[in-house]
Each structure stands twice: as C-alpha cells, then as structure tokens.
C-alpha cells in the first residue's frame, strides 16, 4: 500500500492520477480527500455542486484501493474523481436538472456513462449545478441558486454546464462531464478557462441523460488539459445498444495522436462568420491562427454562408423538441405533484409551480413553432435551414480539415447582466450552435486571457467522427501556450 499523501504530492492531471493509483504510488482515497477538502473550503462561494457524494465517493475510493492491493486490473480512470452534471441519471441518487419539478426524484437506473465511468475505475464525486433542464448560458436559471465563476465570483461561469466547468476550474475535480445542446459544454469551458468537448452526435450514449432536445443533445468531457479530456471521452464513448441514436462503432481513439502536431493540416478561417465577438476574443483567435501556422498548418479562407442562420434554426428546433420532451413532467410519474381536484388541474398546477421562467418560455416558444398554422413558417423552415447549414459545412470541409472560431463572443459577463433580456442570452451561443445542428464535433480550448484578465476560449470544429484531428489541433494550441 502506498504511503499517505496530501496536497501537492498528489498529481493534478487525471492521466497522472490514474497511472499513480493503478501502480500503487498514490491512493485513490488520498486523491479524493484532496478534492473534498477543496470543495469544503470554497464551494459555498462557487456553488458548483447540487450534491457532493461524500460517503459514496469515499466507499468507492476505498474499494479501488483494495483492488490495487489485491492486484486487480483497473481501468483508465482508476481513482479519478469525476463531477457529473445533474441531468445525468444516477440510480438511487437524486437527479434534479436543477428544477423543482424533479423534487425528490431518484432515478431507478444509471445513465450508460455512469456505468462506463464505474467500469473505468472513476469515483463520482458529485452532481453539478446547471441552468434548469440545461436551458441557459449562465447557470443563473437554477432552482437552487446560481453558480459563480471561480476566476471572479461576481461573474457567471457560462452555461448550461456551468457547475461542471466551475468544478474543474476551482479544483473541485480534475475532470467532469457536461452536456451540450447548443454550446452548453464549450461556452462555460471558455468562460472558466477549461477544455470542453462536444463530441460527434451519437459518439456518447444519451441513455440516462435527461432529454432537452434529443436531436442536438450530446454528453462530453471538461478538463484542465486536452489529454485529460481525451482520456475521459475515450472512456465514455462507444456504441450503446440501449440508445437507438448511438453510432455503431467502438470507443473513440484520440490519445495516441495528441502529439502528432498539425504540419500539413488545413485550418479554415471562416470569412463570413457572424459578427459580435469582442475585440479581445478576436485578438486571441488571430494569435491561435498564427500559432498553428507557425507549427506547420496551412490557413485557408472558407465561406459558410448559412452559419449566421444557426441561431434562428436552433432557437426554433430546440424549443420545439423540448416542448415535446418536457410534456412528461405532469406530476404523475416523477418528482413534484401539486394536488388538485382533477387530473387536468393537477397537471396545470404542477407544471406552473415546478418549471422556472426560462423553461416555460422555451416550452411556449416550441409549442408555438409546432402549432397548426405556424408549423411550416417556423419549425418546418428551421429544419430546411438546418440542412442548408449542414451542406455549407460539408462544402467547407472539402477544403479544410478543421475550422477555428471563437467559442464565446465575450469573456465571462457579470451576473444579472443578461437575465432580463432572453435574446441577449441566446446570442452567447452564436458560434457553438452550428455543430449541434450538423452533429459534428467541436471543442473549446483555453487560449490566454482577454478583458479584465479573464479566460478566452478558442473553438476547434471538425467533421463528424474526426475527433482525432480536432484534438491534435487543440493539443497544438495548448502546446503553443506553454
């Protein structure tokens, strides 16, 4: 058994933690205690977690250490604490979507990613805060209060996976999982200065991810560095027979290629990108192009004319799907019920009481976009625009291997700045939305700082299932910063 270790003696990177735990150099229990102590010290201020699984995580870490002593073979995430966005089902453990409507509900099954994490030897440390049902870009729309950006507590962490991003940025966990429907992993990653990946649609099982917009939702990793995000993505990806939209192939293979560099890679600059990014963000994007050019990549100008219509297509399609998915919350099977004399009155009272303002707004927008007389004008047209966007990206990818854009138009904004104007909040997703519509992967890499010394993220986009090339590019950007 390894000697007890504390604080600085324990590695920070998930890849190192796993190696040391597997080889008996560091105990999973000591790793866990380091993170629990940090949560204890600072999460009252940050509020990254809805629930910290102290007892469960301790039991799990002890189990892993026993396995090491007994010489059992452990997985790639041995002893690595992982924070889970609280819209992923954990059997017998409350899963809230940061909504009152799931009050008291405990899922009767685990999400596939939870099973995969367990198989890989990970320690689930807690459930992280989010915008209710993943609808928002600031993690201010939570029934349990907002999450704060660890870099500046007066600012938002981004959203909707703001809790998962803040948990990694604050040192509460080395890695976390978020979900991304229109940028909900990449935008908070950018605002918190961590890596955030939206994989190809279908690369990670959605079984047990509580649905927001089923044709757009995808689970992905958040981490302090590119290699850790690759490690986590490899562990949770792969075909799941229980998810009919899961791609029929094995786990993604990324880690081995991280050092391959970008020599000869064609990196696209979108010349007709929608405006709106602030000067500090654009400046960092230019530095990123320069860094890749210096590393041997060719920078190629491309046009993606329909990019600019992504926001509209998304904000018609996602609410439409949400209005259907959220119809199941009626006070019968899960969580909250507000008593009333008859069933219809009970539905109405439960949903009115249980959902927050933003969720109601999107349900109404989606119901409207799908309703008779407006379906063709709104939802129907949005689906055609979605096709147009996919075709435009496919054309661009004939000329380039990856594309570079801002991840978020600005650095972290102040809490309360956008809460009274939903449309201004929606514009946060301008650069991340298209890859959800097309199903292609995208990731945000921390790339220096902008206004007020706050983190800036650069987004790398790639065609479906080209995660390997996307990660190589991200790894090169990371290297150029060190």
Q: Which residue, 243 or 283, is less far from other proteins as judged by CB?
A: 243
Q: Is 381 in the site for other proteins (CB under 8 A)?
A: yes
Does residue 365 belong to the site contacting other proteins (CB under 8 A)?
A: yes
Give min distance, CB of 270 to other proteins, in A. 18
How many residues interact with other proteins (rule CB under 8 A)? 73
Selected binder of other proteins within 41, 72, 384, 414 (CB under 8 A): 384
Q: Is 85 a catalytic residue?
A: yes
Say whether residue 346 binds other proteins (CB under 8 A): yes
What Å distances lie between residue 178 and 39, 88, 183, 356, 478, CA to CA?
A: 19, 9, 10, 21, 21
Selected catalytic residue, list 5, 76, 85, 179? 85
Region near other proteins per CB under 8 A, out of 54-62, 174-182, 289-297, 348-356: 348-356
Contact with other proteins (CB under 8 A): which of 88, 291, 336, 477? 336
330 binding other proteins? (CB under 8 A): yes
**Residue 183 in the binding site for other proteins (CB under 8 A):** no
184 catalytic? Reply is yes
Q: Are 339 and 398 in contact (CB under 8 A)?
A: no
Of 179, 184, 246, 444, the catalytic one is: 184
Determine whether 106 is an active site residue: no
Q: Which of residues 214-233 bind other proteins (CB under 8 A)?
A: 215-216
* Alpha-carbon span 106 to 33, nearest angstrom: 26
Would you count residue 275 as binding other proteins (CB under 8 A)? no
Q: Both ends of the chain: CA-CA distance in Å?
A: 35
Question: What is the rounded CA–CA span in Å between residue 152 and residue 380?
Answer: 42
Binding residue for other proteins, selected from 292, 363, 407, 460, defined by CB under 8 A? 363
Given the residues 18, 98, 138, 160, select the one marked as catalytic: 160
Q: Does 58 bind other proteins (CB under 8 A)?
A: no
Q: In what order do the strands lie in the sheet with 175-180?
A: 49-52, 123-128, 81-85, 175-180, 218-223, 195-198, 442-449, 455-461, 402-406, 266-270, 298-302
What is the footprint of other proteins within residues 411-440 (CB under 8 A)?
A: 420-424, 426, 437-440
The DSSP code sequence of 286-340 is: HHHHHHHHHTTPEEEEE--GGGGGHHHHHHHHHHHHHHHHGGG-SSSSSS-----
Cβ atoms within 10 Å, residue 140 = 23
Segment 240-244 long-range contacts (CB within 8 Å, at least 24 positions apart) = 240/112, 240/205, 240/207, 242/112, 242/205, 242/207, 243/112, 243/202, 243/205, 243/206, 243/207
**Does residue number 390 form part of the binding site for other proteins (CB under 8 A)?**
yes
Beta carbon of residue 349, minimum distance to other proteins (angstroms, whole number): 8
Q: Which of residues 294-313 bind other proteins (CB under 8 A)?
A: 308-309, 311-313
Tell me the C-alpha distance between 22 and 71, whole Å: 9
335 binds other proteins (CB under 8 A): yes
| From 115, 367, 449, 480, residue interacting with other proteins (rule: CB under 8 A) | 367
- Active-site positions read 85, 160, 184
């Amino acid at each position: 058994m390894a000697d007890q270790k504390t604080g600085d003696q324990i590695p920070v990177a998930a890849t190192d933690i796993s190696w040391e735990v597997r080889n008996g150099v560091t105990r999973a229990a000591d790793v866990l205690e380091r993170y629990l102590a940090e949560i204890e010290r600072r999460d009252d201020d940050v509020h990254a977690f809805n629930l910290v699984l102290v007892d469960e995580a301790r039991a799990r870490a002890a189990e892993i250490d026993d396995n090491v002593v007994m010489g059992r073979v452990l997985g790639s995430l041995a002893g690595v604490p992982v924070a889970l966005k609280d819209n992923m089902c954990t059997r017998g453990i409350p899963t809230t979507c940061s909504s009152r409507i799931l009050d008291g509900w405990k899922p009767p099954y685990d999400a596939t990613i939870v099973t995969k994490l367990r198989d890989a030897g990970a320690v689930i440390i807690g459930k992280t805060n989010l915008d209710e049902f993943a609808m928002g870009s600031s993690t201010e729309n939570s029934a349990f209060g907002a999450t704060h950006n660890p870099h500046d507590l007066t600012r938002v962490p981004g959203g909707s996976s703001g809790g998962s991003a803040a948990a990694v940025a604050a040192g509460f966990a080395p890695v976390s999982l978020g979900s991304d429907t229109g940028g909900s992993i990449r935008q908070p990653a950018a605002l918190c200065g961590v890596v955030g990946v939206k994989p190809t649609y279908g690369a990670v099982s959605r079984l047990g991810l509580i649905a927001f917009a089923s044709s757009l939702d995808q689970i992905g990793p958040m981490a302090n560095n590119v290699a850790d995000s690759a490690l986590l993505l490899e562990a949770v990806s792969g075909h799941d027979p229980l998810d009919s939209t899961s791609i029929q192939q094995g786990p993604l293979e990324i880690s081995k290629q991280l050092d391959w560099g970008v020599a000869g890679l064609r990196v696209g600059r979108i010349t007709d990108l929608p405006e709106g990014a602030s000067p500090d963000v654009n400046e960092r994007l230019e530095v990123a192009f320069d860094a890749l050019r210096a590393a041997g990549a060719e920078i190629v100008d491309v046009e993606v004319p329909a990019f600019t219509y992504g926001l509209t297509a998304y904000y018609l399609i996602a609410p439409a799907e949400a209005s259907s998915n959220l119809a199941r919350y009626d006070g019968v099977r899960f969580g909250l019920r507000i008593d009333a004399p008859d069933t219809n009155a009970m539905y109405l009272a439960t949903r009115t009481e249980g959902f927050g303002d933003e969720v109601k707004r999107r349900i109404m927008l989606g119901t409207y976009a799908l309703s008779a007389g407006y379906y063709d004008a709104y939802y129907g047209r949005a689906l055609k625009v979605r096709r147009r966007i996919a075709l435009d990206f496919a054309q661009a990818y004939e000329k380039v291997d990856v594309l570079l854009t801002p991840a978020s138009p600005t650095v972290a904004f102040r809490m309360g700045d956008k809460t009274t104007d939903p449309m201004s909040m929606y514009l946060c997703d301008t650069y991340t939305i298209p890859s959800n519509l097309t199903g292609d992967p995208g990731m945000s890499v921390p790339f220096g700082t902008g206004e007020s010394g706050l983190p800036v993220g650069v987004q790398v986009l790639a065609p479906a299932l080209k995660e390997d090339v996307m990660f190589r590019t991200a790894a090169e950007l990371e290297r150029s910063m060190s």
